[in-house]
Each structure stands twice: as C-alpha cells, then as structure tokens.
Amino acid sequence: MPTEADLLIHNSSMLLRVPVDGSDDNALGVIRDGAVAVKDRKVLETGTSTDLLKNHPSAQKVDAGGRMVMPGFVDAHTHLVHGGERAAEMEMRLAGKTYLDILKSGGGIYSTVAATRAASLEELTVSAEKRLAMAAAHGTTTVEIKSGYGLDAGTEMKMLECIASLAESSPLDIVSTYLGAHTLPAGRPRTEVVDELTGPALGGFRRHAEFCDVFCEDGAFSFDESRRILTAAKAAGFRLKIHAGQFNPLGAAGMAAELGAVSADHLEELAPGEAGKMAENGTVAVLLPGVPFFLQGSKYADGRQLIDAGVRLALATDYNPGSCPSYSMPFMIALGVFQCGLSTSEAVRAATTGGAAAIGRQNSLGSLTEGKSADIIILNIEKPEEIPYYFGTNPVHTVYKRGKLITAAARHLNYSHHQRK
C-alpha cells in the first residue's frame, strides 16, 4: 500500500519546490494549486492538491487558503547571540561617521564585546531566544549563529555554549560558527592574538562549533593573518567561512576558496579572479545586502557578476547589533532584487537552497523535495514576485519546522510542538 502522510498542506496558489538543480525556466519548481505531503518530519511527495488529497485521505489537512507555499528560509549568516544594543550609533553615522571610523575610535563592536562579556549565559540565552522568535516569525526555519563578541577565550566559549543550548531547545535548526577572529582585542599585540587563535585552544572550540570564520578587512585581520587562521582551523577539523570584501578588495574570498571554504560572505568588493576561484572550488557567495542598506552605503555585492562567473549564491540577514539589526529574510530578498542584480527567482533560491548550501546542508534542507526536512512556510501572497513587491512587510502567515507548527509572536516562540528525536 502507498505510504500515508501525517500532514498534507493543500490548496495553495502555487507551491514552490525550489529544487537544487533548478536552472531552467521553472527554477522554482512551481506547482499551481500545489500540495505537499509530510511523513515523519520529512517531505513525502509534492503534486497538485487534487492528486495528493486522493493519495492521502487520512492525513491531517491544512488548507493554505489560496496562499503561496514554499520552503522555509535558511539564514546562513547571523550574530544573534550578543549582549546590549547599539542604536546610538545610527546618530553617529547620520553625523558622517563611517563603520570603520566608529570601530577605530573604540566604539562599534567593542561596546558589544563589553556588554557580552558582562552578560551571564542565562541572559545571553534569553535575549537570543527572543531574536530567534522574530526570525521564525519572518519565515526562517534554519539559522547559522556565530560567536565573535568575546574576543577572549572565556567569553567566546560562553557564546558557543549559548548557541549549543539554543540548538537543543529551539524548534529551528541552528548551525554554530566560531568567530574568535572577529577583530583585534583592544590593547593586545597582533602577533600574540594570532598566535592564540591558531594555537592548541582551537581544538576546544571545535567541540562546540562546526565552522570557523575570520573577518579579513582593514582594521581587523590582514590577508596573511586570515590565511594563517583558516589554515590552522582546517587542520583542527573546522569547516571554513570568511568575511571578505566588505569594504576593500583584499583577495580574501579567493584565498578562502583555495582553502576549501564552504562560503565567503559580504563580497561588496572583489579583486580580479576571485569569483573564478570561488566557482572552481564550489565556495558559496553569501550576499548580505542589509548591511550596506543600514550603513547607508552605495556599494552592494554584484550578484549578477557572481552568477555569470558560475558562483552559487545565498542571501542572509547578517543580523547583528551594529550594522544590520534585521531578522527579515523577505526584506533581504527584496534588496537582492533591487540592489544586487538578482531576479526574483534567483533571490528566492538564494534565500532557501542557496542558504542551505552555504552551511553544507543542501542535501537535507532548503527545498520541498522528497526526503528533505519538512520546513514549510505559507505566505499571505500568491506568487513569488510579491515578496520584493511588498518590500518592508512580513508576508509570512504560518511556519512549519520538520512538519510541526511553530507559533511565532514578537516576544515569544511557542516550543510546545517541538519534538526532537
């Protein structure tokens, strides 16, 4: 007998399957009046509502009410764990100060470092849970979270322990990244810091994080320092990521690609040949257009150039307290279309299956194809073009993670449906 589904979501305006290999005229895998059947937390099958209602008469039915149904968003770059906030910096920027000006003057990230060091593990966890609730309310079902606001071993470990705790308790899938090399701690010699970041302590952080990241930029870590840190991290068993080309084309994305980095993120500035190295080595380009938007910059990553070079793209929020305090993946899709040269189809793929590839989860997340996690969102729109059209709004109606309903609100996420085996 055919397998009977546990859950059937039907009567959509259209279902976007977003297959990984979708490169033809229907790159989003559209099924009009589509339905998705779920069994044991995974996608069992997709098809028309008429066919699947016949195939699964005993399944729990959810009527999408003529709304669009698609995979949950995969936010592949965030800094959701931190103490404090930095709303006052907006006024400094409006007065003409740049991000690097604020950083060099001892502000910016250093104020977040102080607040994060002062916060207890419980305080960090409670505040991060509220941010995760906001992300889920905007349709995010998988999120990467970095450390990096400690700049000392003890606080970095506290942040990673917080991320691990969230991964156990949250209905969302959470991927952990160690970003000890976020910037230079005030008052310490560069050589001493880099020696520490590449030393025996790396192994201890590896027990709590899958990825290692480094911020390669003027005012942070140099090209050679970044290469040394990533090389040591790779030897310690980390998978690699890099913050590259945010303000200056230092060649870091190409270097990281040659080391086998899973992703290179930001990329507003690229040196000649870097895109080719990324394409050759399969390194995903994670575009973070919320950052130049919030910092009032004029330069966005050129998504069209990267696509033409054969690079796979992801879109992510880069949620952080200083340069992009936004949880909204729908808004990043809009910015990808308006500022990065992407079509709506390309932007939606970048926010789903592209994000999954940027965290090495393309075989299990990011699309509504058989055997993948049943991460499903129902939106208050009828077609994908309406995501950027209604920019700045939240189109998400309902969120399912692994086939379980998530109830989201501004200050709380209902964990009652969460079951982890």
Question: Per residue in 48-63, pLDDT tens?
Answer: 999 999 999 999 999 9
21 falls in which pLDDT band (50, 70, 90)?
A: confident
Residue 110: strand, helix, or coil: helix
Instruction: Name the CATH architecture for the domain at 7-72+367-412.
Output: Roll (2.30)
Average pLDDT on 123-127 reads: 97
CB contact at 8 A, 218 and 99: no
Distances (CA, A) of 340 to 165, 283, 357: 35, 18, 19
Fold of 74-358: TIM Barrel (3.20.20)
Average pLDDT on 176-199 reads: 95
* Mean pLDDT of the chain, nearest integer: 93
Task: Report the pLDDT value the prediction gives residue 408, as an integer from 0 to 100.
Answer: 43
Q: Say which residues have a Cβ less than 8 Å from residue 344's Cβ, sequence separation at least 6.
A: 333, 337, 384, 385, 387, 388
What secondary structure does DSSP assign to 311-329, as a single string? --EEE---BBTTTB----H
90 falls in which pLDDT band (50, 70, 90)?
A: confident
The share of the chain scoring above pLDDT 90, in percent, equals 86
CA atoms in the 13 A half-sphere facing the CB of 386: 13
Task: Report the pLDDT value the prediction gives residue 95, as an integer from 0 to 100.
Answer: 84
Task: Report the pLDDT value the prediction gives residue 419, as an integer from 0 to 100.
Answer: 38
Domain boundaries, the chain: 7-72+367-412, 74-358
Side chain identity at 270, as an amino acid letter? Answer: L
Q: Which residues on adjacent β-strands are paired with residue 61?
A: 8
> Which residue in this structure is represented by tokens 């077609």?
383
- CA-CA-CA-CA dihedral for 43, 421, 358, 131, to nearest 10: 110
Tokens linked to 233: 């991290």
347 falls in which pLDDT band (50, 70, 90)?
A: very high
Which of the 8 DSSP states describes residue 98? Answer: -
Q: Could you tell me where the DSSP H helices lie in 219-368?
A: 223-235, 252-258, 274-281, 290-294, 303-308, 329-339, 344-351, 353-358
Quick one: angle between helices 329-339 and 344-351, nearest 10?
Answer: 140
Residue 364: strand, helix, or coil: coil
Task: Report the pLDDT value the prediction gives residue 121, as an integer from 0 to 100.
Answer: 98
Residue 48: strand, helix, or coil: strand
> Which residue in this structure is represented by tokens 């309903």?
405
CB contact at 8 A, 162 and 132: no
Average pLDDT on 300-312 reads: 97
127 falls in which pLDDT band (50, 70, 90)?
A: very high
Q: Is pLDDT above 70 for 421?
A: no
Other CB atoms within 10 A of residue 388 CB: 20
Tokens linked to 381: 């729109």
Task: Report the pLDDT value the prediction gives residue 417, as an integer from 0 to 100.
Answer: 36
Identify each DSSP E strand in 348-421 by its residue range.
376-379, 396-401, 404-408, 413-414
CB contact at 8 A, 197 and 229: yes
Q: Is pLDDT above 50 for 85?
A: yes
Question: Do 7-72+367-412 and 74-358 have matching folds?
Answer: no
Task: Report the pLDDT value the prediction gives residue 411, as an integer from 0 to 100.
Answer: 34
Q: Is pLDDT above 60 for 415?
A: no
- Give dist(CA 309, CA 57) in Å, integer: 47
- Give dist(CA 347, CA 248) in Å, integer: 25
Task: Report the pLDDT value the prediction gives residue 420, as an integer from 0 to 100.
Answer: 35
